[in-house]
Structure 1
Amino acid sequence: MAFRMSEQAYLVLLALAEEPRHGYGIVQAVTAMSDDRVRLGAGTLYGILDRLVEAGYTEASGEVVVDGRLRRYYRLNPDGMAALAAETARLTDLASLARRVLAARPSSRPALGSA
């Protein structure tokens, strides 16, 4: 089954492209990158990480015990970097298409559904 790239998964990959991070570090990075628009709960985050590991895009890169709690670090691997680059290109193309369509729309034409 092909990996489905959600906005949340894309942001997790983007956070890991900067540096290896543990779960809470990923949550903080995603929140900051999205200007507080995307907030990941633990269940959502670890579900995404499990799918990213299964897809071969990320891997555990070590564990550290801090204050008696285990922190598992994840890193982006070359396949993950390629997937991130491909998704970024796809989103860029989609945004370019949207700009062209919106720019070509006459401002005097009523919007769909208007009377």
Structure 2
Amino acid sequence: MPEFQHDGKVYYNPIEFALSHIGGTWKMPILWRLRDKTLRYGELKKDIPHITHKMLTTQLKDLEASGLIHRQVYAAVPPKVEYSITEKGKEALPVVETLIRYGKKLMKEYGIEHP
């Protein structure tokens, strides 16, 4: 497959392009948590305890820019912001689910217990 460019970055295959949108340590866990419900920032932070505030903010901005999540801001004091998954984000969920299953299978093979 020939290389291609998007937003000034060169990609060499569709997998690399897809992973630029959902890959990394935190994007898939965020999408997974939003699959069934809308969550506020604090709820996401509490549910993903090892993520830093800066990283959560960055990942949410990236997911929003990719159209995978929607950010709804309400005019309230203090400000209320909710995040929900978009239809485009829902299209990524089967990939996330497959990777979860595969990861659990590998963990079992290596004798790693999953809580």
Instruction: Report the TM range for the smaller structure's normalisation.
Output: 0.5 to 0.7
Which of 60, 83, 90 aligns to 2:92? It is: 83
Bigger relative CO (Cα 8 Å, ≥ 6 apart): 1
1:39 matched to 2:51? The reply is: yes
Q: Secondary structure at the match of 1:7?
A: coil
What is residue 7 of structure 1 aligned with on the other side?
A: 25
Unaligned runs of 5+ in 2: 1-5, 7-16
Contact 1:20 1:74 in 2 (8 A): yes
| Superposition RMSD in Å | 2.4
Residues 36-89 of structure 1: CA distance to partner in whole angstroms, max 9, x if unpaired?
A: xx2332x211110111011111011342524xx212111011221221221221
Q: Which runs of at least 4 in structure 1 moved beyond 2 Å after TM superposition?
A: 90-100
Residues 44 and 19 from structure 1, CA distance in 2 versus in 1: closer, same or farther, beyond 3 angstroms?
same
**TM-score, length of structure 1 as denominator length:** 0.64
**TM-score, length of structure 2 as denominator length:** 0.64
What is residue 73 of structure 1 aligned with on the other side?
A: 82
Cα distance in 2 for residues equivalent to 1:98 and 1:21: 29
